[in-house]
Chain A
Amino acid sequence: MRSSVVVLVLGLVLAIGTPITWALTRPDATAGVTVEQAIDAPPSTPAPSSAAPSPSGAVPPSAPALDLPPVTTRDAAPTVAAPVPAPVRVSLPAQGVDAPLDPVGVAPDGQMELPEDVDRVGWYRFGPVPGDDGSAVLAGHVDDREQGLGALAPLRSTEVGDVVVVTGANGAETRWQVVSREVITKEVLPLDTIFGREGPPRLVLVTCGGPFIPEIRSYRDNVVVVAEPLP
């Protein structure tokens, strides 16, 4: 009879303790501050020096006028903008990520375009170059049914403090430090913040994560990692 009580208690401990232990020991979905805090916050370190392309065409102001603001004039002939120097490579050594970058835009469905090749990562070319003011967005497929896991699959285990290195068009590197990792349901992803073009320089890495929903052959969430510039 006593043995029955012991088995009863042990059984209950096992039944309740196993799921609780599993839940407590699995990796956190988030690390560091939230994505929105990380992007809006002032930088804790100075921005890497990256020369922004200087707009051409500014002409010295006309003759000084006492009370009037200086008026600059320029030739108004149509011009083609110089191509923006696109970054070429991203690496996250602590997680074994090292992938070439492709400039990408907007897909016909309105979402950010991503490279078909899951081993490559897209840089959103309408946003800033990494190092310029605003949020530079790098994103890639987490996997593909034929190609397997993508280059950014390890993003979900990124830790605060991990270093990200972006190689620019001229070979110069900018270095970044992860301050935030968050798994966010796609419906509530703060797109205007993630793709913001103002504010201090930020590097934002995005891929998919969370549960897979077979009916729509897609993931429920996005994994978003925000990094600040390192000197």
Chain B
Amino acid sequence: MGRKPETTVQSNGRNVIVNKTRPIALTAGATGAFALLFAATPALADTHDTATVSVLHAVPETPVDVYANGEELISDFQPGTLGGPLTLPGGEYDLTVYPAGADPESAEVAISLEDVQIPAGANATVVAHLNAAGAPELTPFVNDTSAVPAGEGRLTVRHVAAAPAVDVRAGGEVVIDGLTNPNEESVTVPAGDVSADVVLAGTDTVAIGPADLTVAEGASTIVYAWGSEEAGYELANQTVEAGASAPSGVPGGSAGLAADEGMPAPLVGLTVAGLAAAAFAGRKYATSRV
């Protein structure tokens, strides 16, 4: 962690267009969940027409069922778990979340998100979480799969907890500051294990962690800060492959002991001797002709 990380800030939801609808109703236990799409066709090999989608359940204490376009996608989805990745046709999806076990015909919707555009080729994670004020929401994030330098990994942090702004520290050093719900920020750091924690912005008051996690080389390691004051705060982790890069070269030696030499000196001597003899004889021959 010696190098100062290069920071790139990404706007939330890039490439994903969302029309949020207000939660129609919250059932007694408040809840959240999410959902993601649905795929009618089992054969989804062509990456040009499909998107890769994961779903994270980050609403505390409330198991849910997730429906996409009216069909059940994940049932009894537990808080703190990640579903997917799913390969889905690009397109628009209506996502609906019900309390686990509820009958969608009669139950009231816990969270819904209509007309979520999941473009073909995108890699996205839809997160069911609490907003800063504690109300359940669905937020789609686009996962950055662009290449990182050799030996490094991208650490992305997403604030999806019912909490104010936070700073994120890795190895005790602040790498992301002032992050607010529901935003994300990324840094590129040397790959390896780090101890990460989340503190209230501008303070040393630890809100979550510390937790040990591995920042994988050539990948995006995405950390979610989620939960609420009542239920407690936790971290969740997702790793998405990004492009790996090759080192810039292979060094190799400093002495020249193994160098390819030019022609050995005795052979050079032989060549020179041949030339000298030819020149001498040629001159003598020419002189004798006069």
Contact = CB atoms under 8 A, between A and B. Distances in A.
A210 B250 CA distance: 14
Interface stretch (B104-112, B129-137, B138-146, B252-260): B252-260
Interface stretch (B7-15, B18-26, B230-238): B230-238
Given A76-B81, A195-B247, A12 B274 contact: yes
A209 B260 contact: yes
Contact of B252 (A69, A80, A107, A208): A208
B251 interface: yes
Interface stretch (B37-45, B172-180, B181-189): B37-45
Given A18-B270, A191-B249, A105 B151 contact: yes
A54 interface: no
B213 A109 contact: no
Chain B interface secondary structure, helix, strand, loop or mixed? mixed
Nearest to B256: A212
Contact of A148 (B218, B235, B257): B257
A152 to B, nearest CB: 8
Nearest to A66: B71
* Residue among A18, A65, A109, A189 facing the most chain B CB atoms (10 A cut-off): A18
B75 interface: yes
A110 B42 CA distance: 43
Given A14-B273, A143-B255, A69 B87 contact: yes
A143 B241 CA distance: 37
Contacts, number: 252
Nearest to B248: A110
Contacts of A148: 255, 257
* Residue among B44, B71, B211, B244 facing the most chain A CB atoms (10 A cut-off): B244
User: Which bucket holds chain B's interface residue count?
Assistant: 35 or more
A7 B278 contact: yes
Contacts of B273: 11, 14
Contacts of A211: 259-260
Nearest to B266: A18
Contacts of B80: 75-77
Given A76-B56, A106-B150, A141 B83 contact: no
Interface in B60-112: 68, 71-78, 80-84, 86-87
Contact of A7 (B86, B211, B214, B281): B281
Contacts of B74: 62, 71, 73
B149 interface: yes
Interface of B: 38-40, 42, 44, 55-56, 68, 71-78, 80-84, 86-87, 149-151, 191, 193, 196, 211-214, 216-218, 223-224, 234-238, 244, 246-260, 263-264, 267, 270-282, 284-285, 288-289
